[in-house]
Chains A and B, each alone.
Chain A
Amino acid sequence: EVQLLESGGGLVQPGGSLRLSCAASGFTFSSFAMSWVRQAPEKGLEWVSTISGPGATTYYADSVKGRFTISRDNSKNTVYLQMESLRAEDTAVYYCTTHYGLDVWGQGTTVTVSS
């Protein structure tokens, strides 16, 4: 069974940092790009970042460029999102997805940026 399991969300103060993880199983992880998508309260789905299968190519939304870093460890079947200089507007549920299948999503992890 194909599965994505996010972790690492929580409450953090503005300006703080957080690292999200997404553990994958059920497919050849290293062969497929991975992405993070978020949804802020009362807002739409927003693509955040994508990393290629080997990890050599990354993409970022303008709203997070320079503050967030996506990476992956193909030996652990895990993708990460390192979030720095967090702002209130980064408060959202963060989902992990894969290019393996359009219907494959994690359950989401909640990030709250507040003092």
Chain B
Amino acid sequence: DIQMTQSPSSLSASVGDRVTITCRASQGISNYLAWFQKKPGKAPKLLLYVASTLQSGVPSRFSGSGSGTDFTLTISSLQPEDVATYYCQNYHSDPRTFGQGTKVEI
């Protein structure tokens, strides 16, 4: 199975700050990488797919990059509604494993 490793596990930033989360795959997954936002009591929300394509309706302050084994999620200007836990997911092959999550606080 492909292992997904995120860092950091948590972070605290101020409104308006630029926030960066990294995700590393244990083997190459091309750009088959998705980012999800998870809030308590809600189903995971897809933010980006194929590493850098913004899902419809997601604010443009979210962006992604990377290919192969190293990926990044960036929030260009953190907003109060962005408080959540963020997960990367490999969908290059089954099983579609997740990173351990990054909790973002303000």
Contact = CB atoms under 8 A, between A and B. Distances in A.
Contact of B95 (A39, A44, A45, A59): A59
Interface string A92-115: 000100000011011110000000
A36 B43 CA distance: 13
Nearest to B46: A103
A47 B99 CA distance: 10
Q: How large is the interface on B (under 10, 10 to 19, 20 to 34, 35 or more residues)?
A: 20 to 34
A71 interface: no
Given A44-B101, A45-B101, A105 B43 contact: yes
B47 to A, nearest CB: 10
Contacts, number: 44
Listed residue (B43, B100, B101) with the most chain A CB atoms within 10 angstroms of its CB: B43
Contacts of B43: 95, 105-108
A61 B91 contact: no
Given A44-B85, A44-B87, A45-B101, A102 B94 contact: no
A49 to B, nearest CB: 8
Interface of B: 34, 36, 38, 43-46, 49, 55, 85, 87, 89, 91, 94-101
Interface of A: 33, 35, 37, 39, 44-47, 50, 59, 61, 95, 102-103, 105-108
Given A37-B98, A45-B101, A95-B43, 5 more contacts: A44-B87, A50-B95, A50-B96, A59-B95, A102-B46
